[in-house]
Chains A and B, each alone.
Chain A
């Protein structure tokens, strides 16, 4: 059914359609509308689930861990500091091979405190064993949640899935969204069946101590599974198309890639802005294209190589930075071409941190810069002339942490 919905409401509705038995979350902007909506649905009896109001994100993730281990589908959502506070639990969930879907309403991390969108939160979890999807639109976010549960609970996978949804831009934005019928979701997503669970009739010990003789194999197993996931995601996305008659999800998506000489690589909602900018550039006969990364973990190296191998200039645009290094996605896109005969010029651009608006002009300036010299880590749309520049940029940067009283 199509409806004009706020992103958070749409996500809550689709999560409910996935029939989670335990929901646990903790308030943090900008994810809060999602659990609020779910709590209301539980309160109205529209959703049969236990809604557990925990005292922290750490406990929200832990509560979901316990529920999932008991064989009940669980759900949580968070943002920014909340995700960082969950961090050790999230590594633990992946290590325990427990299915779970988490929505991350992507937001900048402190300090300074900032509630607006970028990917510094989720990128921190890239090494955790979580599968990571990044949604461009509310519709895609909705679809990725259904696919996320299916993938996470697949007996070949048993890994948690994080659906990344741009804070405010998608969580608070409105869009006409197709919320699928319950029947179809039930058809696509069978009831949660966990073979290894906490059950007195078949007592198992979960979360053991594994010494140097055994630990490494557990990590190898996850790595091996992640490789398989690269094949399972397109399969599930294909089945999703058969059931819902909508193409959604997958590993990557191209926009005007076929003949593109310049390609912008990006993730999430900014891809919408990039597509519009590309339309304008195409009108001027500029051969620019977009490669959208939907699945960041596992990293679809081969698919990315096939998509980019004909490009001469590549710009990686990302809302994250490994401080002291480069943009994380940039580093990985560069690694795709290691040992390959093609040698495109690949530049890295950091953009939109802390909710800095990304306009079509921002995208055009990146596209223009591609013809110039290669850059590793250039910040786009920096304001180096503002009245507070001495304070924000001064000295060691410590000055940005306080405001002097007049």
Chain B
């Protein structure tokens, strides 16, 4: 009988992309793993004392230090001579990865620890009530980038975490999406077979913060890929080795219109903004060769 390593019964919201992605990841990693987790939704919904959903050794310390804690764990395993038998994972949300935890993550990568770091990207600080992060897209309506008479929402596009990871010379860097569970599983498996620091960036919708119906999590995530908004990429030894190609690319509006956080972009006055977003998406489609020829 299938026994998940992230057990059900936790307190994640209905339709939580992160809960889904985290279960897929740990199931592939298997029981011979130790996980260090930054503060965030995942930590909160899975470990409220006296209950825990984790069937593997798991530690949470602070918001920004999972990468450094994982470095200590991996170093300890080396000292104990167990480094070959046990995988170490460092996981965080988008804020814990790209903002407050970026320094520790950069240090961990640069030191070359044999650790897989995972970013569950739901594009804002959801645990504290939907504030923008460095991975919030352009023109997103969040509680700290509200739409108003003088504002279209978040003023900057997402930070490119894959390129930041690549700049560290990582042997494996990839993006994945909860819309493609088998792709996540394949990428985790592949990453864990490679020695050294690895980075997997998983697109994880948050119905609460994105303001879509919980049953639309898959649909929203799938449209992010199908519009070219969130490309699925793999880099091995710094080279783009795999792109999830599309026969036809849908207009970005189809992705945006399912979500309350982008609703303001559908008004006639937002035409120019919408165009800007489509141009950014087009740039990525071109850059990574997403359209199948």
Report the minimal beta-carbon distance from A293 to chain B, rounded to whole angstroms.
31
Residues of B within 8 A of A68 (CB): 72
The 8 Å CB contact of A49, one of B31, B79, B86, is: B79
A214 touches B (CB below 8 Å): yes
Contact across chains for B111 and A22 when beta carbons are under 8 A apart: no
Complex: how many Å from CA A65 to CA B71? 10
Q: A54-B68, A62-B69 are in contact. Are A203 and B49 (CB under 8 A)?
A: no
Question: CB-CB contacts of A20-59 with B at 8 A, as 1s and 0s?
Answer: 0110100000000000000000000000111011111011
Residues of A within 8 A of B64 (CB): 58
Report the minimal beta-carbon distance from B105 to chain A, rounded to whole angstroms.
10
Contact across chains for B111 and A208 when beta carbons are under 8 A apart: no
Contact across chains for B72 and A200 when beta carbons are under 8 A apart: no
Residues of B within 8 A of A204 (CB): 57-58
Complex: how many Å from CA A66 to CA B54? 18
Contact across chains for B68 and A209 when beta carbons are under 8 A apart: no
Contact across chains for A199 and B57 when beta carbons are under 8 A apart: yes
Q: A50-B78, A62-B65, A214-B49 are in contact. Are A200 and B59 (CB under 8 A)?
A: no
Complex: how many Å from CA A113 to CA B44? 39
Contact across chains for B54 and A205 when beta carbons are under 8 A apart: yes
Among B32-40, B175-183, B240-248, B258-266, the one that faces the other chain is B32-40
B47 touches A (CB below 8 Å): yes
Q: Which residues of B from 45 to 69 have beta carbons under 8 Å from A? A: 47-50, 52, 54-62, 64-65, 67-69
Q: Taking CB as reference atom, which chain B residue is nearest A55?
A: B107
A311 touches B (CB below 8 Å): no
Q: A53-B111, A62-B65 are in contact. Are A200 and B76 (CB under 8 A)?
A: no
Q: Taking CB as reference atom, which chain A residue is nearest B78?
A: A50
A104 touches B (CB below 8 Å): no
Contact across chains for B103 and A62 when beta carbons are under 8 A apart: no
Complex: how many Å from CA A89 to CA B39? 13
Complex: how many Å from CA A58 to CA B63? 12
Residues of A within 8 A of B77 (CB): 70
B106 touches A (CB below 8 Å): yes
Contact across chains for B65 and A58 when beta carbons are under 8 A apart: yes
A96 touches B (CB below 8 Å): yes
Complex: how many Å from CA A63 to CA B47? 22
The 8 Å CB contact of B60, one of A50, A64, A207, is: A207
Complex: how many Å from CA A375 to CA B49? 49
Contact across chains for A50 and B47 when beta carbons are under 8 A apart: no
Residues of A within 8 A of B67 (CB): 59
Q: A50-B78, A52-B72 are in contact. Are A203 and B106 (CB under 8 A)?
A: no
Complex: how many Å from CA A24 to CA B48? 31
Residues of B within 8 A of A186 (CB): none
Q: Taking CB as reference atom, which chain A residue is nearest B36?
A: A66
B135 touches A (CB below 8 Å): no
Q: A72-B76, A208-B49 are in contact. Are A89 and B61 (CB under 8 A)?
A: yes
Residues of A within 8 A of B50 (CB): 214
Contact across chains for B58 and A206 when beta carbons are under 8 A apart: yes
Contact across chains for B49 and A209 when beta carbons are under 8 A apart: yes
Report the minimal beta-carbon distance from B101 to chain A, rounded to whole angstroms.
10
Report the minimal beta-carbon distance from A158 to chain B, rounded to whole angstroms.
15
Report the minimal beta-carbon distance from A211 to chain B, rounded to whole angstroms.
7
Residues of A within 8 A of B65 (CB): 58-59, 62, 65, 89
The 8 Å CB contact of A198, one of B43, B48, B59, B62, is: B59
Q: Which of A48, A52, A71, A211 has the most B CB atoms < 10 Å from its CB?
A: A52
The 8 Å CB contact of B107, one of A54, A89, A199, A203, is: A54
Complex: how many Å from CA A69 to CA B48? 20
Q: Which residues of B from 104 to 128 have beta carbons under 8 Å from A? A: 104, 106-107, 110-111
B284 touches A (CB below 8 Å): no
Q: A62-B72, A214-B49 are in contact. Are A200 and B111 (CB under 8 A)?
A: no
Residues of A within 8 A of B80 (CB): 21, 70-72
B206 touches A (CB below 8 Å): no
Contact across chains for B79 and A66 when beta carbons are under 8 A apart: no
Q: Taking CB as reference atom, which chain A residue is nearest B34?
A: A198
The 8 Å CB contact of A205, one of B52, B61, B74, B104, is: B52
Contact across chains for B54 and A63 when beta carbons are under 8 A apart: no
Complex: how many Å from CA A209 to CA B46? 9
Q: A56-B103, A200-B56 are in contact. Are A71 and B47 (CB under 8 A)?
A: no
Q: Which of A52, A63, A207 has the most B CB atoms < 10 Å from its CB?
A: A63
Residues of B within 8 A of A211 (CB): 48-49
Q: Which residues of A from 67 to 90 have beta carbons under 8 Å from B? A: 67-72, 74, 88-89
Q: Taking CB as reference atom, which chain A residue is nearest B58?
A: A205
Residues of A within 8 A of B34 (CB): 70, 198, 200
Residues of A within 8 A of B107 (CB): 54-56, 59
A111 touches B (CB below 8 Å): no
Q: Which residues of B from 70 to 105 have beta carbons under 8 Å from A? A: 70-80, 86, 103-104
A210 touches B (CB below 8 Å): yes
Contact across chains for A200 and B106 when beta carbons are under 8 A apart: no
Report the minimal beta-carbon distance from B73 to chain A, rounded to whole angstroms.
4
Residues of B within 8 A of A128 (CB): none
Residues of A within 8 A of B55 (CB): 203
Report the minimal beta-carbon distance from A210 to chain B, rounded to whole angstroms.
4
Report the minimal beta-carbon distance from B46 to chain A, rounded to whole angstroms.
8
A92 touches B (CB below 8 Å): yes
Q: A67-B76, A92-B62, A205-B52 are in contact. Are A52 and B71 (CB under 8 A)?
A: yes
Contact across chains for A59 and B58 when beta carbons are under 8 A apart: no
- Listed in ascending order, the chain A residues whose CB lies under 8 Å from chain B are 21-22, 24, 48-50, 52-56, 58-60, 62-72, 74, 88-89, 92, 96, 198-200, 202-211, 214
The 7 A-B residue pairs with the shortest CB-CB distance, nearest first, are A66-B72, A55-B107, A62-B68, A207-B60, A59-B68, A70-B76, A205-B52
A-B contact pairs, 25 of them (CB 8 A): A21-B75, A21-B79, A50-B75, A50-B79, A52-B111, A54-B68, A54-B107, A55-B110, A58-B64, A58-B65, A62-B71, A63-B68, A66-B68, A67-B75, A69-B72, A70-B73, A72-B75, A89-B62, A96-B61, A203-B55, A203-B57, A206-B57, A208-B52, A208-B60, A214-B49
